[in-house]
Amino acid sequence: MSLAGRAARIGLGVAGAFIGYAWLPHLFTGTATWRGPVRNRAVALTFDDGPDPRWTPRVLDVLAAHGARATFFLIGRRAAAAPDVVRAIADAGHEVANHTWSHPSLWLCSPRRTEHEIARGHVTLAELTGVAPRHFRPPWGMVNAAMGRALTRTGERCVFWSLQPEGLRPRSAEAQAEYVVTRVSPGAIVDLHDAEGVAGAPARLVAALGTMLNGLRDAGYRLTTVAELLGDARAARGRE
């Protein structure tokens, strides 16, 4: 076989291995959670990528003013650098959940690093709050074949989202609030960001959040944590 042929075979082998490890697992995320039950008019707001010492306290203030509870998917490294903010989240009755230690793409993580990222984030948040996280969200929603085993060891459930008003493309505060209020449905899990990812995202979120909360409440929705939303699902199954 020619050198070019060998290189082509190696390239195909590497591509096949990557697809099997990082892409095919997306076909099996049916065991993950994308939304809650539809029987109760409840919605879970979730906040990714914090804690941010500047923006997360402002988000907490808005939530407190509206009597709303939420879930914060925190990056372990940022949590370790801002322990007082993490404790403020927990003390306010919000849920603290795992978003890895350093926010890598799991597509590019080996099995060993995947386990390290999930386990170190889990342990860090448990030590800071005294409560072990029950839920995990992979950065950018990217999974791999090693994630399931790592989550089994920490006892966490993978949670995605059913609404994301701002992803990689910036969207104004007004557009974000309108997007959520007009597209929400019972059991929705809304993905928001209280730390810098897309430039200016936390500022737009804070500007949108009050309007968003008012709109959801006016539509008759109860605002709760992911843990409570999924607890409702377990209770509903128990009554069937």
Catalytic residues, by residue number, are: 48, 193
Cα 101 to the center of its chain, rounded Å: 13
For residues 107 and 22, is the Cβ–Cβ distance under 8 A? yes
Size of the chain in residues = 240
H/E stretch holding 136:
strand 135-136
150, 110 contact by CB (below 8 A): no
CB 49 within 8 A of CB 191: no
Which amino acid, 217? R
Pair type for strands 189-193 and 42-48: parallel
Residue 125, CA distances (Å) to 98, 100, 208, 218, 239 in order: 7, 10, 28, 34, 33
> Bridge-partner residues for 72, per DSSP?
47, 96
Burial of 238 (0-12, 13-18, 19+ CB in 10 A): exposed
Sequence-ordered alpha helix ranges (H) in 73-110? 76-81, 83-91
